[in-house]
Structure 1
Amino acid sequence: MSTLIAGARRRARRWLDIAALLRHVPVALRLAVLLLNVMLGLLPLGFVIAMSVTLQRVPDAVGGGPAGAWGEWAAVLAVAGAAFGAQQALAPFQAATGELVVRHVDQWCRGELMRAALADAPAMALDDQRLLDRLDAAREAFDRAAASPGDAAAGALALIARYAQLTGAVVLVGWAVDPLAAAVIGATALAIRFGQRGSLGAFGDFYDSITADKRKAAYVKNLATGPQAAKEIRLLGLTDWLRDRHRTETMAYLTRMWQGRRRLLGRPFVVLALVGLAGGAVALTRLALAGADGRLTLLELGVALQAVLILMRFGVYFPEADVQTQYGLIALESMRSFRDGARALPALAPDRGLTADLLPRRSVRFEGVGFRYRPDGPAVLDGLDLELPVGTSTAVVGLNGAGKTTLVKMLTRMYDPTEGRITVDGHPLTDIAVRDWHRRLAVIFQDYVRYELSVADNVALGAPRAPADDETLLGALRRAGAADVVERLPDGLRTVLSRRYRGGRDLSGGQWQRIGLARALHAVHAGASVLVLDEPTAQLDVRAEVAFFDRFLELTRGLTTVIISHRFSTVRRADQIVVLDGGRVTERGTHDELLAAGGRYAELFRLQAERFTDESGTPARATAPSAAPAAPAAPAPTPLTDVTS
């Protein structure tokens, strides 16, 4: 009994969730859809009554009954035709108005999902596999690959027509036969309906539980059919492997789904069929007995037969509502699950609303900063002390895993330190309004986004709220060394950077990196005061990288700049260089000072320099502390060198 009560409560809660979604639909549209569906539910019953009256009057019209019988018969037939015609005329509007409902509801839901993923959720939510499954399930719905919350709302409104028809049919059976027959056939219809929806709901929950399997199959399919990996797939001959892998992943997912369908839908179908057979037999038996006793007129017999058939069909699948409401609610639950799960994670400390205008004026300081991605995880930063003086360039170097990128996440307040604090001119960074602080930053991460938009848009997105004419954008591109790239494009700044669009062009890795750098430099032009570049030249060859840093540090002189790099030789002109090791600063100084100290920096610098040789085959000289070493004469052969730089 408790299970039934819990199931009823869960079902009621789902329908209340759908009703809540309808608040985001304009009142006029809601009323119009409600009236339309009531009419679509009652018009078939009007047709049933009118046709039954028509059949009753046929004998009088044909057999020479009272004067005007033919006229009355024709009038009733016209009413039946009008009811049928009105139903056919209004039916397309059910889909049309339903689509309007879908758009209003989904527009609100997309906004909620965007706020949850991009604003409310802490950064660690996007590293949580369970939450990513929920996010993918919600996105699948909004990509129209599955039913969305808007579909659920529209499907629920479409059910009004079905239940209006059910109510009217029960009334007609009660009038034509007797209340007992009406109660039996009405209860049978509802039992089959609720049973069928219960089975569909159970299968829907099961289907939602295999999201991870669906993601695997979808990934392989997208990999095999998309352009991203096409060259490598062809070169390595991976077509057969991908075909076999796609079949394996798809069959693993489908086998689980088929087993679930048989288990959750097969047995209930047999039980519900028997319930329908029993209820229909009782109603039709009472109808037959009433007819045999002469208690039914031809009108009542016609109405009763058609009404009973309507009720017996009520328990079947409704294409305009069932999938939409069931799976649309799964999408809604996925969205809420992601949002609520993200909110349950440790959030950033609430700021005190301190404005970031004109900050920093003196320095940004890391004071004993420690950080762990999980409470039981290893310390990525451990007692980090670092000062970033305003107007100077700081290069942060170290081996992979030293904590360089995590330092950037701390500086940009994607995460808060688990120990220590970061201050800006003595103010705790946690006191400064986060959005305000972000506007003071110009950041290019290692995995910067390559937007499939025009060159102008790709650069302007560095400061989307700042006005940006073509000359301003070209200035940022020139400073990033990308002006010649744009000049060679067919539509210049208006060229879309993707081959998937007419007239679009793709760029090499090095060219894209220059576009990304131009984006950051545009943000600086728009008012950002701290420039952070995380491995900004990873896709440039060595000569291009050295040339870039020489020019870049000159262009940004006087700006507070943080450069993360694993190539020691390219950051030697920075005002200060800090070496991270084990999550803390182990060395600090200028390039010459660190070489002279003979510590870890000098060791790693020489190891990297030995990878390159001059034209005579001797190691490139890079150890003299009195002068900056020259750029290597020739890089070691590598297939990844950007020949366009």
Structure 2
Amino acid sequence: MPPAPPVPAAGPLGRRLRRWADFARLLRHVRPGLLATALLLHTAVGLLPIVFIAWTSRLIARVPAALDGGGWAVLGLAPLLAVAAFVVQQLLTPFQSALGELIVRQVDGVCIARLMDCALTGLPIADLERQDVLDVLSDARGGFERATPTPGDAAAGAVALTARYAQLLGASVMVGLVLGPAAGALVAGTALVIRFGQRGSLDRFGALRTSLAGRRRRLAYLRRTAGGLGMAKEIRMLGLLPWLRERHSAEARGYLDPLWAGRRRLLFGPFVGLAAVGLLGGGTTLLLIGRGGTDGTLSLLQVSVALQAVLIPLRFGVYFPESDVQTRDGLAAFEAIGRLEERAAAHRAAGEAATTATAVPDGAIRFENVSFRYPEGGRTILDGLDLELAPGRSTAVVGLNGAGKTTLVKLLARLHEPTSGRVTVGGTDLATLPAAAWHRRIAVIFQDFTRYQLTAAENIGIGRPELLADPEALLAAAGRAGAREIVEGLPRGLETVLSAQYEDGTDLSGGQWQRIALARALLSVGAGASLLILDEPTAQLDVRAEAAFFDRFLDTTRGVTSVIIAHRFSSVRRADRIVVLADGRVAESGTHDELMALDGRYAELFRIQAERFTEQEDLTMTAGGPR
């Protein structure tokens, strides 16, 4: 569904129109039969109290005649019908919640899909690193983490208002029939003024809450940290619990203090004014009833009807637990999704405008005078970089921390776009190619590759989801990555969940996870990917394990265009070509032997790392050998 078009909201009326337009867009995702049933049910539940008032008033009016000797037969069916209205209302009320839950699920199913599309594919990675976008994303997904109401809750809350307004209409009509149209309009108008005034205050409070999204996100992070398992070991070993409690209290006060102060400021004054409106409108109506009752112009039936009916509008301005918070915060989440979709649509439109090629060509990949800096005043990472990646050859990119190695990978994968210059494949600018088509040509193992708490088959198969149901292809990829023995040694083979947090699941060592990740990438290569990228996936391994990993990788991927990012120079000396990055440019390039003969930066850093490794080996042997 396209993002909601902007609605002018210069004042309360504009904001109210936008809100009801949002409700209409949400309710489009509810099956018509379910929506009609819910509306009819809520209308019935709203009107049954009016029926109860009518028959209890008739009952009260006939009691004097019964007491004067007419007998209880004078009451007729009034008691039975009053009780029936009450019982039916009580029987129907639970179905309101049941139908509301169905509405919530249908609407949230659509909204979750939209949010996933935005966060995972629609928004560029650069946007997902922006503070303001992260705040909006946090509000959008807060409901789906059950921290706040969801858009589905907002839709169900809007439908629930049907009962309230049906009851108000019925009560106003009854007051009008007894006291005249002016009195009916008076109580209805009083109720609506109070209701709209209160909703306006709640909306302003909701805007204040939205403005505190950054503080709320920090508080949520601390709560997840305190309640999660990821940091439990460090918190225990470092004795961080007292500090964590103090930090949580400070962040909570930093968020809640301005929220509470704003709530008092925004709600207290309007509450006093609206209470005065209610007192004036309700008091006037009660005076009319009292005067009519004392001068005999109103019968006992009319007085009973009017007294009971007038209480409904007077209570109409109070807080509605079934809808007020749900519609306010649920719509805030929906609006946040809309803002994300607007950014994604603008990015998509710019990409489509730039896309001129329809197919990804073959050939060399070149960085042509490429510069890049992160937004919002970030330093220049790449500065006039020129680099060619030869087809079918392995290229290792090395350099000190901050040299731009990972940034190069992000540009190559089109997770970011160059600030200036261009990246080409077969002479065609990557920016003119469909991003999805280019991504299908790449297999990447990032430094912080994901360890999915899924089965071994799924951890490998998501490299090419269409092969998830092909165990032979999965095992073949595992074999190429040296992971077949690992998989076959699992309790349930490919169907073993790779997490000890699940029954019959098991965790893997760092080196085993590396091979599973490599199998995932090689499955993609086997299915057609022509470029394989490793972005320091072995950073946590020791020198020997890393060297063994890269040796296996280079042997397995011989003839595949590959890019290896490494921080240990000795691990990649068998690569076809080694590129040294420094100051955002290519400082040196060649084979290991050529660079050592050059005796430049590469040779110096290689010898330094080799000396450190030798010293570590000597210390290990002195301490009694490897253990």
**Could you report, residue by residue, the CA deviation over 1:487-537 in whole angstroms, capped at 9, with x for unpaired residues?**
443333222222332222233333322222221112112221111110021
Question: Counterpart of 2:606 in structure 1: which amino acid?
Answer: F
Alignment of 1:21 with 2:26, yes or no, is yes
Alpha-carbon shift at residue 108 of structure 1 (Å): 1.5
With 582-591 and 608-617 compared, the bigger mean Cα shift is at: 608-617
Asked if the contact 2:449–2:537 (Cα under 8 Å) also holds between the matched residues in 1, the reply is: no
Please report how far the alpha carbon of residue 170 of structure 1 lies from its aligned counterpart in structure 2 after TM superposition. 0.8
State the SS of the aligned residue for 1:227: coil
Residue 55 of structure 2 aligns with which residue? 50
Q: Aligned letter for 2:59? A: T
Name the amino acid aligned to 1:444.
I
> Is the 8 Å Cα contact of residues 372 and 419 (structure 2) preserved in structure 1?
yes
**Aligned twin of 2:613:** 612
Q: Does 1:365 align with 2:359?
A: no
Q: Does 1:546 align with 2:547?
A: yes
Match of 1:203 in 2: 205
Displacement of 1:131 after TM fit? Answer: 0.6
For residues 54-103 of structure 1, the C-alpha deviation after alignment (integer angstroms, 9 at most, x for no partner) is 222233344444xxx75563422222222112211111111111111111
Q: CA deviation at 1:286?
A: 0.7
Tell me which residue corresponds to 2:3.
none
Change (3 A) 1:343 1:5: closer
1:154 to 153, 156, 160: 156
Residues 636 and 422 (structure 1), Cα distance of their counterparts in 2 relative to 1, 3 Å cut: farther
What's 1:624 paired with?
A: none
Q: Which moved more, 1:166-175 or 1:482-491?
A: 482-491
Deviation at 1:570, TM superposition (A): 0.4
Matches within 5 A, 1:584-603: 584-603=585-604
Structure 1 residue 76 and structure 2 residue 78: aligned? yes
Kindly provide the CA deviation profile for residues 197-220 of structure 1, in whole angstroms up to 9, marking residues without a partner as x: 111111111112112222222212
Decide which moves more: 244-253 or 70-79: 70-79
- What is the alpha-carbon distance in structure 2 between the residues aligned to residue 262 and residue 185 of structure 1? 28
Provide structure 2 residue ranges, at least 5 long, that are not aligned to the other structure: 1-7
State the partner residue of 1:627: none
2:457/2:468 contact within 8 Å kept: no
Residue-pair matches, total: 616
Shift of 1:471: 3.1
Selected match of 1:297 from 296, 299, 303: 299
Counterparts in 2 of 1:142 and 1:427: CA distance versus 1, 3 Å: same
Secondary structure of 1:380 counterpart: strand
The SS at the match of 1:611 is: helix
* Separation in structure 2 between the aligned mates of residue 339 and residue 273 of structure 1, nearest angstrom: 41
**Cα deviation code 1:407-438 (max 9, x no counterpart):** 11121112222322222222222333221211
User: Are residues 1:351 and 2:355 paired?
Assistant: yes
User: Residue 443 of structure 2 aligns with which residue?
Assistant: 442
State whether structure 2 residue 15 is matched by structure 1 residue 10. Answer: yes
C-alpha distance in 2 between matches for 1:465 and 1:160: 47
Query: What residue number does 1:60 align with?
Result: 65
Q: Partner of 2:533: helix, strand, or coil? A: strand
Q: Could you report, residue by residue, the CA deviation over 1:271-326 in whole angstroms, capped at 9, with x for unpaired residues?
A: 22222222211110011001111111121111100001111111111111111111
Q: Which stretch of the first structure deviates more once superposed, 72-81 or 403-412? A: 72-81
Given the alignment of the two structures, is residue 41 of structure 1 paired with residue 46 of structure 2, yes or no?
yes
In the alignment, what sits opposite 1:517?
A: 518
- The letter of the residue matching 1:322 is D
Contact 1:542 1:635 in 2 (8 A): no
> Do the aligned residues in 1 keep the contact of 2:49 with 2:86 (CA within 8 Å)?
yes
Aligned partner of 2:238: which letter? Answer: L
**Contact 2:497-2:504 within 8 A present in 1 as well:** yes
**Cα distance in 2 for residues equivalent to 1:375 and 1:344:** 19
Quote the Cα distance in structure 2 between the aligned partners of 1:41 and 1:530.
Answer: 64
Partner of 2:400: 399
Q: Is the 8 A contact 1:613 1:635 kept in 2?
A: no
Give the secondary structure class of the aligned counterpart of 2:25.
helix
Cα distance in 1 between the residues matched to 2:542 and 2:388: 31
Task: Determine the C-alpha separation between the residues in 2 that align with 1:390 and 1:22.
Answer: 53
CA contact (8 A) 2:397 2:581 kept: yes
> CA 1:616–1:443 in 2, change beyond 3 Å: closer, same or farther?
closer
Cα offset for 1:375?
7.6
Give the TM-score of the pair, scaled to structure 2: 0.93
Alignment of 1:322-361 (within 5 A): 322-341=324-343, 343=345, 348=351, 350-356=354-360, 359-360=361-362
Q: Which amino acid aligns with 2:47?
A: L
Whole-angstrom distance in 2 between the partners of 1:293 and 1:110: 63
Say if 1:552 and 1:328 are closer, same or farther in 2 by CA, change over 3 A: same
Please give the alpha-carbon distance, in whole angstroms, between the structure 2 residues aligned to 1:423 and 1:259: 56
Which range moved further: 609-618 or 539-548? 609-618
CA distance in 1, matches of 2:49, 2:534: 68
- For residues 123-522 of structure 1, what are the structure 2 equivalents within 5 Å? 123-341=125-343, 343=345, 348=351, 350-356=354-360, 359-360=361-362, 362-374=363-375, 377-522=378-523
SS at match of 1:613: helix
Per-residue CA distance 1:137-184 (angstroms, 9 max, x = gap): 111111221111111111111111101111111111111122332222
Distance 1:256 1:505, change over 3 A: farther
Deviates more, 1:321-330 or 1:478-487: 478-487
Report the alpha carbon displacement of residue 590 of structure 1 after superposing the two structures with TM.
0.5
Pair 584,211 (structure 1): closer, same or farther in 2 beyond 3 Å: same
Q: CA deviation at 1:617?
A: 4.4
State yes or no: 1:89 paired with 2:99: no
The Cα of 1:374 is off from its aligned counterpart by: 2.5
Unaligned runs of 5+ in 1: 619-633
Work out the CA distance in 1 between the residues paired with 2:259 and 2:617: 66
TM-score normalised by L of structure 1: 0.91
Distance change (3 Å), C-alpha of 1:456 and 1:379: same
Alpha carbons of structure 1 residues 477 and 228: separation in structure 2 relative to 1, 3 Å: same
Match of 2:529 in 1: 528
Determine the structure 1 residue equivalent to 2:35. Answer: 30
Matches within 5 A, 1:559-598: 559-598=560-599
Larger helix proportion of the pair? 2
Q: Structure 2: how far apart are the matches of 1:238 and 1:255?
A: 25
d(CA) in 1 for partners of 2:40, 2:124: 44
SS in 2 for 1:24: coil
Deviations 1:517-564 (A, max 9, x none): 221112112221111110021122111111111121111101111111
Change (3 A) 1:72 1:31: farther
Return the alpha-carbon distance in structure 2 between the equivalents of residues 481 and 377 of structure 1: 41
Aligned residue in 1 for 2:4: none
